[in-house]
A and B are shown apart, each in its own frame.
Chain A
Amino acid sequence: MLKQTLAVTLMNLRAIPQRLGTSSVIVIGIAGVVAVLVSVLAMATGFHQTVANSGRDDRAIVLRGGSQAEVNSSIARDNLLTILDAPGVRKDAAGRPIGCGEIVTIVNLPKIDDGNLSNVTLRGSCGQLAALRPELKLIEGRLFEPAVRELIVGAGAAQQFRGVTLGSRISFRDSDWTVVGIFSSGGDAHDSELIADVDTVQSAFRRSLYQSVTALLDAPSSFAAFKDALTTNPTLTVDVKREPEYYAEQSKQLTKLLNFIAYFVGGIMAIGAMFGALNTMYSAVSSRAREIATLRAIGFGAVPVVISVFAEALLLALLGGALGAALAWLFFNGNAVSTLGANFSQVVFRLTVTPGIVVSGLWLALFIGLLGGLFPAVRAARLPVVDALRAQ
C-alpha cells in the first residue's frame, strides 16, 4: 500500500508542472490568505509585545482607584510623599525614594509619512527619571532640565513624527519646547513618548494634579508590602499594579481586536481560497481522469489515489502558506507603525512575525488544502473506471 501510495503521489506531483496555471490558483490564493493573517497577527503581536513588555516587575504604578489608565487617573500632589514613603520603595544613595509623580497629556505632531496630525503622549516626569527607568538610554543629547521647556523624544516617536530631531523646537500650548535628547527604551511603549519635567508640563497645561506615581521597589517581592500599605491607607484611594500587569491590560483590548480582525478577515479569505482549491483540484482530477482510471485498471487501489489527491492539495497549500508567510515576513516584519494606544495617543510598534504566527499561517493553509482536496479526492476514488478509460 505504501509503495502504491508513494508511486501514485509522486506521479501526481510530477504532473504539476503540466498544470502550472491551475495549480498556481491554489498557491497564490492561499499565499494571499496567509499573508493577510500573518501580517495582522504580526501587528497584534508587535503591539502586544511593545506595550506588554513595557515595565519591570520591580516597578509599580499607582493610579486613582478605579482608573483603567493614566489618562483618566488623578493623584493629589499631597499624596506623592505618602506613596513614596510606603515600605518597599527603593532609596537612592542620598536616601531619597526612587519614584516620580507623573502626568501624561496629548500633543499633536505631524506624521512623517502623510503629514497628518497625530496624538503623541507628552509625559511629565521628575529628575529621578534615570534612576526610575534605567532601561531608558539617551542615544543623543542630554536629559531635560527642570523649569525649562525642554524635552526628550523616544526613538520610535523620532522615526514617526516630523520635527522632533535633536535641537528642533516643537510648538504646543502657545510655547516652544526644545528637543534636547533622543532616547531609546528598548522598543517599549515609552519609545513613542515625549518626556519633559513634570512641573514644567503641569505649569504649561495648567494642571496641579499628578496622574500616576511610579515607584522603583527594592525587589519584585516588595510589591505586596507596598501595595498593602497603600490600599489599606485610609487617606488614599488608589490602585497599585506591577508595571507589566498594567501595560498588559492596556494592550489587551487592541490585541484582541487585531486577533479578531486577523481571523475574521483571514477566515473570509480562506473560504474564497478553499473554493479556489476545490476548483483546481476538481480540474486536476478531471484532467487526470484517464490516468487515474488506468492505474485503477492495472490494480492500484482507491486509497493511494485518494491520498495522492490529498497530497497534491496539501503540498500546494503548504507552498502557498510558506509563500504568504515569507512575503509577510519580507515586507512587514520589523516595520514600524503606530496606532492609538490606551492613552488615546500613538504607540509606535514594530510588526513582529514570530515562528508561532508562521505556524498558525501554515496550519490555516493546510486546513484550506485539506478541505479543498477532500471532495476532489472522493471524486477521484469514485471515478467510473470504464468510462474514464475510453475518454480521449
Chain B
Amino acid sequence: MGNIVSLRKVAKRYTRGKEVVEVLHSLDLDIAEGDFVALMGPSGSGKTTLLNLIGGLDRPTEGEVIVAGEHIDRLSGAALARWRARHVGFVFQFYNLMPMLSAQGNVELPLLLTRLSAAQRRANALTALTIVGLADRARHKPSELSGGQQQRVAIARALVADPTLLVCDEPTGDLDRRTADEILGLLQVLNREHGKTVIMVTHDPKAAEYARRQLHMDKGALVDGQVS
C-alpha cells in the first residue's frame, strides 16, 4: 500500500516572548495506508505536535505535510477545516464529548458537515455506535456513561464519517487498565478489520503494543522505530 502520511523536513517552532522554541527539527516520516502507529516519547518530545500536524490542527514552520494526497500545509484555514472533516477522525484523552448532546447526537456531529439527510445521519450514527458496542446507550448523555463508554462514543464519532485516518491523542490516558485494553482492542479491530489507518500518541508502553509500529521521539526528532 502507498503512504497515507508523508512529512518532509518538517520543523515546528514556537515563539514565547523573545525566545524561539523548536519543537520539531527537520523531521521526515512516512506512514502507510492501513498502518497502526504508536508515537511514544517523554513529555515535550514533540509527539503531540507531530500528531497535530498530521491531523491538520497545526501548521509546520517549515517543510511539507502530505496527508491523503493533499499538501495540507498549503491549505487555507477554511479549506483545512473542510479537509479535516473529510479525512480525519479525532480521539482525545478526555473524550471531548458535548455534554448537552446524547451519545447519538455526539456521533452525528461530523455528519452535520456532510450532505446526508437527518434520517441517514441517524442511521450512520447508530451503525457507528453498534461497531463500538454502545447501540443500547444511544440516548444517554455523556454524564450518564462511564469513562470507557464515553471514549467509545468518541471513537464512534471519529469513525462515523468514514475518515481516511484516525488520530488518537492519549486515548487511554484517563482510563483504568481493563477499560484501556478494551478501547485499544477496539482501535485494533478498526485497524485490522475495517482497514482504518490509526496514529496514536501514548505514554503507555502496553498501549503501544497494540500498534503495528512504534515510533519513539525525543527532543523533536524520531529516534527509532519498531514493528510489533
Contact = CB atoms under 8 A, between A and B. Distances in A.
A299 B52 contact: no
A298 B101 contact: no
A235 interface: no
Interface in A286-312: 290-291, 293-302
A268 B210 CA distance: 64
A14 interface: yes
A383 to B, nearest CB: 12
A295 B58 contact: no
Interface of B: 48, 52, 55, 57-58, 77-78, 81-82, 84-86, 90, 92-94, 96, 98-101, 109-110, 112-113, 157, 169
Interface stretch (A43-51, A210-218, A351-359, A384-392): A384-392
23 contacts: A11-B98, A14-B101, A18-B99, A18-B100, A291-B96, A291-B98, A294-B98, A297-B55, A297-B90, A298-B84, A298-B157, A299-B81, A299-B82, A300-B81, A302-B77, A386-B52, A386-B57, A386-B58, A389-B57, A389-B92, A389-B169, A390-B48, A390-B93
Contacts of B90: 294, 297-298
Given A300-B81, A386-B58, A389-B92, A295 B109 contact: yes
Contacts of B92: 294, 389
A11 B57 contact: no
Nearest to A295: B109
Contacts of A300: 81, 85, 112-113
A342 B183 CA distance: 83
B100 A389 contact: no
Nearest to B158: A298
Contacts of B58: 386
Given A294-B96, A300-B113, 13 more contacts: A18-B100, A295-B109, A297-B57, A298-B85, A298-B113, A299-B85, A300-B85, A302-B77, A302-B78, A386-B52, A390-B93, A390-B169, A392-B94
Interface in A369-392: 385-386, 389-390, 392
Contacts of B96: 290-291, 293-294, 389
Contacts of A296: 81
A360 interface: no
A3 interface: yes
Contact of B109 (A7, A386, A392): A7
B74 to A, nearest CB: 18
A294 B48 CA distance: 16
B57 A298 contact: no
- In this complex, the member of A299, A301, A392 whose beta carbon has the largest number of chain B beta carbons within 10 angstroms is A299
Contacts of B82: 299
Nearest to A388: B96
Contacts of A294: 90, 92, 96, 98
Contacts of B81: 296, 299-301
B21 to A, nearest CB: 15
Contact of A299 (B99, B113, B169): B113
Give the size range of A's interface with the partner: 20 to 34
Interface centre among B52, B112, B169 (most CB of A within 10 A): B112
A11 B100 contact: yes
Contacts of A291: 96, 98-99
Nearest to B89: A298
Given A11-B100, A291-B96, A389-B96, A298 B110 contact: yes
A343 interface: no
B52 A4 contact: no
B188 to A, nearest CB: 23
Contacts of A4: 112-113
A15 interface: yes
A384 to B, nearest CB: 10
Contacts of B169: 389-390
A329 B109 CA distance: 43
A37 to B, nearest CB: 34
B99 A15 contact: yes
A301 B82 CA distance: 8
Nearest to B82: A299
Nearest to A1: B113
A360 to B, nearest CB: 34
A40 to B, nearest CB: 40
A83 to B, nearest CB: 77
Nearest to B52: A386
A297 B157 CA distance: 12
B121 to A, nearest CB: 10
Given A385-B57, A386-B52, A389-B92, A298 B100 contact: no
Interface string A146-178: 000000000000000000000000000000000
A343 to B, nearest CB: 62
